[in-house]
Structure 1
Amino acid sequence: MLLLENNLAQQIVNRTMKIIGNNINVMSHRGVIIGSGDPLRIGQTHDAALLALQHSTTIEVTKESSLTLKGVLPGINLVLQVNGQVIGVVGITGDPDECRKYADLVKMTAEMIVEHAGLTEQLQWDRRHREEFITSWINTQTNDAKLLGWAKKLDIDISAPRIAVLIRFRETHQPISLQGVRKIVELLEYPIRDNLVAVVSLNEIVVLKPATFIHGQWDCNDENRRIDLLFSRLKEYDMTDIDIALGHYFDGEGSVARSYESAQLTLEWGLTHQPQKHKHLYEDLRLPVLLSPLHQSWQGQQLHQPYQLLIQEDKNGQLVKTLVALFQYRSLTECANSLYIHRNTLRYRINRIRNITKIDPETIGGLLELHLGYLLER
């Protein structure tokens, strides 16, 4: 059953009194005054409202008849109905002959306020449930029966291919307001593109976007362009302290959770190693992002150790510079030319790298291991 709350009742009073000037009372479905231009009357039982509710009709009260009713002044009392349900009574204080000409206007205004409030509350309720679902979905590796049932109730097709985008607000002296967060959510939801949007923390929004395919392959470039468009729109609202990370597309069970995790790792790597940028794409940072979980593992420490030894022994940075050139060029001649050194000098540096790290950079496996250690250093 839809119930009138005190705050909404007082809102009806305040808005209608601005229109007509007369005192307005709003009574609950039990005939108790819950909103009034006269605060002293709130909480009193209104006999005329009880009669209106009992007979589902308008009750007019003259000066004479008011003397026989408890808590009643002359006026007109009209039953409020929303979706065919009686929810209360609105009363206009004054001479019934004078009040009658705008009684229907007051009734219609009150019912419209209640309907709008109910719609707003329903939308907020739906949004909360959708955000709770999205938060659960991005952290779930399996599409179990509970998740499927929840999605069906919310009319969300979890079989549709989606890609995760993570938006984070940078910490500044002036944190973003809730109004700012709502504005970004609106930009992400409208025009309607079937984006699923959830505010997952005070400074983070996740967007599950429909994946775009070209010739059967997921197209990262299309999403890249859309992120650029979003940045340009955010600038119009002076929102620039924002980072956006695009994850990778996965298919199969748990694909959304994996896409979200890839966006998280991409964002963390980007914020740490390229803070001057605000857009971070998994496809551009694939290898370092894939390696990032190794930082805290013994396997990562083992891969990193040889490169650390090289840094410690390389006083002027020439050996590290030479190793980076070896990563980039296929032949020793190209490598030496890029460093503006003779091949014999390059050979000497390669031998030093080999002696320090105990790894041969002239083999594919050795060069790969040193490259992984270099990436883990970054």
Structure 2
Amino acid sequence: MYFLDGLLAKQIVNRTMKIIGHNINVMNNHGIILGSGDPHRIGEIHEGALLAISQQRTVEISRASEDTLQGVKAGINLPLHYKGDIIGVIGITGEPKELGHYGELLKMTAEIIVEQANSIELAQWQYRQKEELIIEMIKSDGPFTSHQRNWASQLNIDLDTPRVAAIIQVQADDEETAANSMLKQILHLLETPSRGNLVAMTSMTELVILKPAFLDGKAWDATLESERIDQLIARLPIEMRKRLKISLGHFFAKPQEINRSYQTALETLSIGTQMRPEQSKYLYKDFSLLVLLSSLKGNWRGQELVSPYQALISADKNGQLAKTLTCYLQHFGDQQQCANALFIHRNTLRYRLEKIEKITGSNMQKLDGLLQLYLGQVMLTAQ
């Protein structure tokens, strides 16, 4: 893969004309002038370049013969090579006898510029391909396809490495460009050293990291991964930490389930940011029940699940009954401990519990009734 376009030709002209005081032309492999110290010549066919390409050699054109060829002035024309192929020609205007000692130097300089530019382009292309593969991995469901495996193989990525997903989000405020710049700094930290991370930007303010799951080489350890996140945060400037949110998803044993890990990281980030906005790190294990229930949002099943607790909230004007229910759940239905914690008599507690049952229609003496109230409370609290 190579390229030689107008921008690169202009760069070659500008840099090589600083070496000598002669005009420089750069032609593509069809003899068309892409760059020149004389802008009026850009776009013309250079027959001297066509000769150099067809004969695969340096072509010298004297003053006496310059009128016999189209778009040509006296000078020398040297083929430019990249990986064994002729990709164009560099021409130096002037008397060939005076330019001989410049030719190979300028040719070498031009080829170095082409090689550097193509190396950068190749690296950028590989990065874009890697990013696209990562995004496809977190959005697709089921086993990896043969196309994905071939794609990964070309990029030296092992799809069978167990991974867990994490998400880093920068709070955009009103300056999305500044947030994006901050995110790129974080991306650089994650890739230096990479430790096998697969990183991709999913938006101007968010990136996903598919991290190797077995940091100790043996098993998944969420606590160890949490410590690594703390280490990353510690490397960041204080002003950057204030705008940063990081979530760690659940680890799924099958590598092809990395999309599920990503979904849990996404839900963990959403729920954690809502419930604990003062924090910057959110772990799936701390919000697992809410994450698992999140799929019921907007679903009729979810609406039915929260309806008893919703009825309680609507009827409980001063919040006393909701506070009583929370205390009762925290003490696992132990009425004496609950009454002590609320500083009320057991008969008062019993009266409140009966009132809760009447409003919600739930039998709190049965696990089903108590569980539905608990789950309804959890889901409404997270909304």
The answer for the alignment partner of 1:375 in structure 2 is: 378
Whether 1:317 aligns to 2:288 is no
Conserved in 2, the CA contact under 8 Å of 1:165 and 1:260? yes
- Which piece of structure 1 moves more, 367-376 or 209-218? 209-218
The answer for the alignment partner of 2:233 in structure 1 is: 231
Task: Summarize the Cα distance change of 1:361–1:54 in structure 2 as closer, same or farther, 3 Å threshold.
Answer: same
- Which piece of structure 1 moves more, 207-216 or 253-262? 207-216
Task: Summarize the Cα distance change of 1:372–1:236 in structure 2 as closer, same or farther, 3 Å threshold.
Answer: closer
Whether 1:351 aligns to 2:334 is no
For residues 299-340 of structure 1, the C-alpha deviation after alignment (integer angstroms, 9 at most, x for no partner) is: 211221111111122222111111111222243333223223
In the TM superposition, what are the counterparts of 1:186-225 in structure 2 within 5 Å?
186-212=188-214, 217-225=219-227
1:39 Cα deviation (Å)?
0.6
Which of 326, 338, 350 is matched with 1:335 structurally? 338
The answer for the alignment partner of 1:70 in structure 2 is: 70
1:252 Cα deviation (Å)?
2.5
1:116 Cα deviation (Å)?
1.4
The answer for the alignment partner of 2:101 in structure 1 is: 101
Whether 1:148 aligns to 2:177 is no
1:186 Cα deviation (Å)?
2.2
Distance 1:179 1:69 in 2: 52
1:197 Cα deviation (Å)?
1.6
Letter of the aligned partner of 2:41 in structure 1?
R
- Which piece of structure 1 moves more, 208-217 or 286-295? 208-217
Letter of the aligned partner of 1:114 in structure 2?
V
In the TM superposition, what are the counterparts of 1:1-378 in structure 2 within 5 Å?
2-143=2-143, 144-177=145-178, 179-212=181-214, 217-235=219-237, 238=240, 240-252=242-254, 254-330=256-332, 331-378=334-381
**Counterpart secondary structure, 1:127:** helix
Distance 2:282 2:91 in 1: 60
Could you tell me the percent identity over the aligned residues? 46
Task: Summarize the Cα distance change of 1:215–1:152 in structure 2 as closer, same or farther, 3 Å threshold.
Answer: closer
Distance 1:59 1:150 in 2: 44
Structure 1 portions without partners, runs of 5+:
none
Distance 1:33 1:55 in 2: 18
Task: Summarize the Cα distance change of 1:254–1:67 in structure 2 as closer, same or farther, 3 Å threshold.
Answer: closer
1:287 Cα deviation (Å)?
0.9
1:170 Cα deviation (Å)?
2.5
Aligned residues between the structures: 378
RMSD in angstroms over aligned alpha carbons? 2.5
Distance 1:21 1:173 in 2: 50
**Counterpart secondary structure, 1:164:** strand
Distance 1:254 1:52 in 2: 54
Distance 2:248 2:88 in 1: 51
Conserved in 1, the CA contact under 8 Å of 2:309 and 2:376? yes
Letter of the aligned partner of 2:149 in structure 1?
L
**Counterpart secondary structure, 2:139:** coil
For residues 221-261 of structure 1, the C-alpha deviation after alignment (integer angstroms, 9 at most, x for no partner) is: 22212222333334378474332221100022641111111
Distance 2:57 2:118 in 1: 24
Distance 1:42 1:283 in 2: 63
TM-score in terms of structure 1 length: 0.90
For residues 125-177 of structure 1, the C-alpha deviation after alignment (integer angstroms, 9 at most, x for no partner) is: 22222222222221222113333333333332221100011223333111135
Task: Summarize the Cα distance change of 1:239–1:311 in structure 2 as closer, same or farther, 3 Å threshold.
Answer: closer
- Which piece of structure 1 moves more, 133-142 or 329-338? 329-338
Structure 2 portions without partners, runs of 5+:
none
Letter of the aligned partner of 1:232 in structure 2?
A
For residues 9-60 of structure 1, the C-alpha deviation after alignment (integer angstroms, 9 at most, x for no partner) is: 1121122223434321101112221110111111222233233223322233
Distance 1:29 1:161 in 2: 47
